[in-house]
Amino acid sequence: MTDVGINQKQILTVLFTKDAIDIRKIVEILHRRRWLILGVSSAIVSLAILMTVMAKPKYQSSMQVMVTANSYQKQKQEKGETGEEKQSDEQDYLIDYTSQQKLMASSKLMNKLVDLLSSQYPGITVEDIKGKLGDRSFNAPLSITPIPVKDKADNKGASQVFTVSWQGEDPVKVKRILEGIAQVYKDHNLDQQKQRLAQGLTLVNYLLPKIKKDLKQAEVKLEIFRKKNKFLDPKLQSKILLESLASAESKLQTNRAEIKDLQARQNYLQQKLSDSAPNALISFRLSKSPRYQNLLKEIQKTEASLAEERKRYTDDAPSVKELLQKSQSQKNLLRQEIQKELGKSAPKTINDSRIFFKQESLGEVELNLMQELSQVQTKISGLRANENSLTASAKKIRTELNKYPKLVAEYDRLFSEVETHRKTLETTLQRQQSLALQAAQSGFDWQIVEEPQQVVTTGNGKFLNLLGGVFIAPILGIAVAVIWELFDDVIYSAQDLRKLKQLRMLGTVNKVAVLNQKKKTLRLPFWGQTNNNSSISTDFASLPNHESLDIVYQNIQLVNSDLPLKSLMVTSAKSGEGKSTLALGLAVSAARMHQRVLVIDINLRNPHLHEALELTNDAGISLLLLEDNNASFKDYIQPVHPAIDILTAGTVAEDPVKLLSSQRMKDLIEFFEHHYDLVLIDSPSMLGTVDARIIASLCDRIAIVGCMGKLTRTELAQATEILNDLNLIGIIANQPHVG
């Protein structure tokens, strides 16, 4: 099989993308849609005539209303009193006229008008006054339009005049409704003044107790905070603590300087004593220890008792031994005390010096030095105690100061809250005093500067309705036709089909209709020797155009011309597109080129080729598929021309899919390709059944027939998608009628 498949995505893109309408084809489109244009135009003209006949005369009355900002009036009064223009923000008197215009036509005011007129017109509604939703300004009965200001520099937008008009079919009703609107505007103006004053006082009276309550709560919170932390102002308290910390640190530095000086003096005295009497300092230090003195006295007593006992007893006596042990024990305790008091400067043994057991007399100089050293040590101890106290005090102050940032922040918040509520209370009290004056000087004032005018006739617009209908009708008809064409999916001409560049155009056949039951005689030319039956008469529809079909057949042969063309399937997207007629026409073209052709009607579900040719359908391909061999195939063949044989579909099969997909079907196609120059298969349409899809896989080439004006792009895309992977070679455009 030849590989002439078309990319699915490309063909779908082309099929579903319709180009904009070419202006050169507008005449063709208008001609094709002439009945649609005529129908739309007739409907519009008829509607215009009906509106003209039913139109009633309209009556209208109008008045003028001026919208002014009260603050602007106040400014004018102050200017008149002082003779000077007071500077004021333009926002004090500029008006949003769009909002005012919407308010004047609002349903709220119109409901008041309905209540006012309900006694005279019981069935009147807001829609009757304003018009239905969607009505334009020239159709709505109520119209509110601003009068342009000529000199905007002088006016400064401080005032604006609106024209309020109402139109209807009853002149008396028009007059009364406009008078009612004027009365509603006057009442609304008075109501707004009263509401502004009442709303202002109500708001202030409502807010004042709440503001006082909030102020009281804020003051209570601040007072609780002060009592809890025992200060009035944390900022002042933190300042005092900072000063105390600075004083403590200053005293601490002074104290440390004094300790340093005394330590130097102590070192000097210790060095002096060490140089003058080495043992004096040790004796002096031990004399300051009460425990040492007590132990020394106990040892002296024990030594005295031991001396007395030795006078009477020897050392082996129990009393002497007891005193010796007691003396040794006391000396050990004394040694421990000396080690404790002197540290590294203590002698290794008590017997190294007599100063531990007998006080030596010290000189007067050494005594003075020792007394001074004692005084220095006492001062150092006191200063160190003072240093510890100052350090602890400074640490405590720093700890307190670390708490103050949060306390200050909380105090500032509470204090700010109190101040805010106080200012709010003051502002509210001031607002309460000036509210009456402000209420009178705020808002907007509606003044009727021109009362409702006499009712006048505006006409019924009959001539304009009729004239507009006549002119608009063809335009709308053409517009509908063009829009219809843009959204129409049908392919109307071979030119549109040629735009599908990914699908090969095999040719165009004009004025070829589908087969019907009209009886015709087909006489085909035949080459070579003829006999009495050189022409065979048969019932057929209109003859195919031989010249155009010859061109189509030649184009088919040119596709993959290096491969032989033995079998060709002619199909279409849907039935009724002329594929059977074109299949016979291609058979005629092949016969004119001296080829023997077999045309097979493969439509086993709804065969009709035999009816068009008035052939018998008792023995067709459906029965031949049930045969075991091909020996009797000539019994099923019906010649219609010396070069053209027809194999009808035969009786309707119970299971066409099973027959067509059988190996027997494939063998028959190959058998016919050996016995004929060309096998033309008239297949069913591609959409709706799988029959054509099965046969397509057995043929050398496949051609689609598209009936212009009937085939849609969607249908062609679906059919092409089915044949995308098969040997589809292109499409034949069938234009059964022109125009």
Confidence of residue 352 (pLDDT cuts 50, 70, 90): very low
Each residue's pLDDT tens digit, 288-323: 677 877 887 888 888 888 888 877 778 788 888 888
CA distance 162 to 66: 6
Q: Are 327 and 306 in contact (CB under 8 A)?
A: yes
Each residue's pLDDT tens digit, 139-193: 678 888 888 766 555 444 445 788 888 887 788 888 888 888 888 888 887 887 7
The DSSP annotation for 87-121 comes to P--GGGT---HHHHHHHHT-HHHHHHHHHHHTTT-
CB atoms within 10 A of CB 254: 13
Each residue's pLDDT tens digit, 449-508: 777 876 776 655 566 666 666 767 777 777 776 777 677 677 777 777 777 766 788 888
Which tops the pLDDT comparison, 267 or 198? 267
Beta strands at 456-459 and 567-572: parallel, antiparallel or unpaired:
unpaired
Each residue's pLDDT tens digit, 517-552: 444 434 443 333 333 333 333 333 333 546 888 888
Share of the chain above pLDDT 90, in %: 6
Q: How many CA atoms lie within 13 A of 150 on its CB side?
A: 0
Each residue's pLDDT tens digit, 370-401: 777 778 878 888 888 888 888 888 888 888 77
Query: How high is the pLDDT of residue 78?
Result: 53
Which tops the pLDDT comparison, 464 or 651? 651
Nearest by Cα to 476 from 46, 20, 38, 31: 38
Each residue's pLDDT tens digit, 431-443: 777 766 665 555 5
Asked if pLDDT for residue 641 goes beyond 80, the answer is yes
Nearest by Cα to 552 from 514, 581, 520: 581
The SS3 assignment for 509 reads strand
CA distance 615 to 623: 16
Confidence of residue 680 (pLDDT cuts 50, 70, 90): very high
Query: How high is the pLDDT of residue 356?
Result: 47
Beta strands at 58-69 and 456-459: parallel, antiparallel or unpaired:
antiparallel
CA distance 232 to 234: 7
Within 8 A by CB and 6+ apart from 557, the residues are 565
Within 8 A by CB and 6+ apart from 104, the residues are 65, 144, 162, 164, 185, 446
Which tops the pLDDT comparison, 445 or 600? 600
Whether the full predicted model's pTM is greater than 0.75, yes or no, is no
Q: What is the mean pLDDT of the chain?
A: 75
Asked if pLDDT for residue 276 goes beyond 70, the answer is no
Each residue's pLDDT tens digit, 243-255: 888 888 888 889 8
Query: How high is the pLDDT of residue 136?
Result: 57
Query: How high is the pLDDT of residue 438?
Result: 61
Confidence of residue 721 (pLDDT cuts 50, 70, 90): confident
Query: How high is the pLDDT of residue 678?
Result: 93
Query: How high is the pLDDT of residue 569?
Result: 93
Dihedral angle sign, alpha carbons of residues 44, 47, 53, 55: negative
Q: What is the dihedral of CA 360, 361, 366, 372, to 10 degrees?
A: 90
Query: How high is the pLDDT of residue 245?
Result: 82
Nearest by Cα to 119 from 180, 183, 182: 180
Confidence of residue 598 (pLDDT cuts 50, 70, 90): very high
> Which range scores top for mean pLDDT: 2-11, 75-84, 565-574?
565-574
Beta strands in 495-585 (DSSP E): 505-510, 567-572
Q: What is the largest CA-CA distance in the chain?
A: 193
Q: Which two tokens stand for residue 81?
A: 């009193």
Each residue's pLDDT tens digit, 71-95: 555 555 555 555 554 444 444 445 6
Which tops the pLDDT comparison, 150 or 656? 656
